[in-house]
Chains A and B, each alone.
Chain A
């Protein structure tokens, strides 16, 4: 995975002002952060499934989530 996009996702998750700018900018904030054109395009699509694919997060998989017992 491209390290820059990880940095960007972490920044967005921890910086509310950056998140607001990202929502308003339609890709400019991601570009200024230094993301590649393909990553900027991916984020502009705003598709959870595609971003999850990138981060390796599979919502249908039980691995990685702690599951309780009956």
Chain B
């Protein structure tokens, strides 16, 4: 039998208030208690108006404290509130399941304990990136990866795909406790050296930051790859590396399929 308390985790989106779905708004309004993780006062005030019983979980962050500890505490706070029998809503910035360890942890533990726990999607930075930059990740494929993870592990880079490196302003940090993005130069320099093995030095890369307020545009800054280490980054900076040309056709595979280069070109040249 399902237990009484429930957890619904929703995303507030990137553009404050404007990105919120009708269903997410209703979840927040109808919850017994709302826990929030949003980066600014405007968002917090908006959420408090939707439901006055709102608690800000960013109070759990601490100076020199590992975010791993903080995120476990956030998950535990949600779990305990559900165990008390509450209809809990957690409202996280962006998409609540993207770059959000605490939300997945809380849902997984609560389900194991027999509680109803679910997530509803929100508009993420990646969604805005696609819209703002006019890039279709389906065209050449997309590799999307956290920047430090890209440096720390041996990964295969495909220069014919779109490459998106998240949290570039924290690249190289292994402490999980940085409070400010002021220590990325070495990591960024090493990343640039690595990328230069696959792309020309004048390959245009993009620093992207989605706008949270409609009054201001998103940051879209094009820079030659070689100049990347001199760029100023923030906690919300993303590095976007457009594909370096089209991948060559796999003629051997086409042959096995009974096709050749002309068959592909013929289809792709049909525009109307």
Contacts and interface: CB of A to CB of B under 8 A. Distances in A.
A18 B180 CA distance: 35
B213 A69 contact: no
B142 to A, nearest CB: 17
Contacts of B216: 46, 48, 51
Nearest to B67: A67
Nearest to B37: A66
A68 B167 contact: yes
Contacts of B35: none
Contact of A12 (B178, B215, B235): B215
A61 B176 CA distance: 13
Given A9-B16, A55-B42, A68 B180 contact: no
Contact of B179 (A1, A59, A61, A66): A61
Contact of B17 (A14, A56, A59, A64): A14
A64 B93 contact: yes
A13 B214 contact: yes
Interface in B113-156: 146, 148-149, 152-153
Contacts of B18: 13-14
Contacts, number: 118
Interface in B205-245: 209, 212-216, 234-236
A57 interface: yes
A38 B255 CA distance: 71
A65 B39 contact: yes
A10 B181 contact: no
A69 B66 CA distance: 11
Nearest to B217: A48
B40 interface: yes
Interface in A10-32: 10, 12-14, 19, 22
Contacts of B94: 66
Interface in A40-62: 43, 46, 48, 51-52, 55-57, 59-62
A68 B41 contact: no
Given A9-B42, A59-B234, 8 more contacts: A10-B17, A59-B209, A60-B169, A60-B181, A60-B182, A65-B93, A66-B37, A69-B146
Top 7 nearest A-B pairs by Cβ distance?
Answer: A64-B39, A57-B40, A59-B234, A68-B99, A13-B18, A56-B41, A70-B149
Interface of B: 15-18, 37-42, 45-46, 58, 61, 67-68, 71, 92-94, 99-102, 146, 148-149, 152-153, 166-167, 169-170, 174, 176, 178-182, 209, 212-216, 234-236
11 contacts: A10-B42, A22-B215, A51-B213, A51-B216, A55-B40, A57-B39, A61-B180, A64-B61, A66-B37, A68-B99, A68-B146
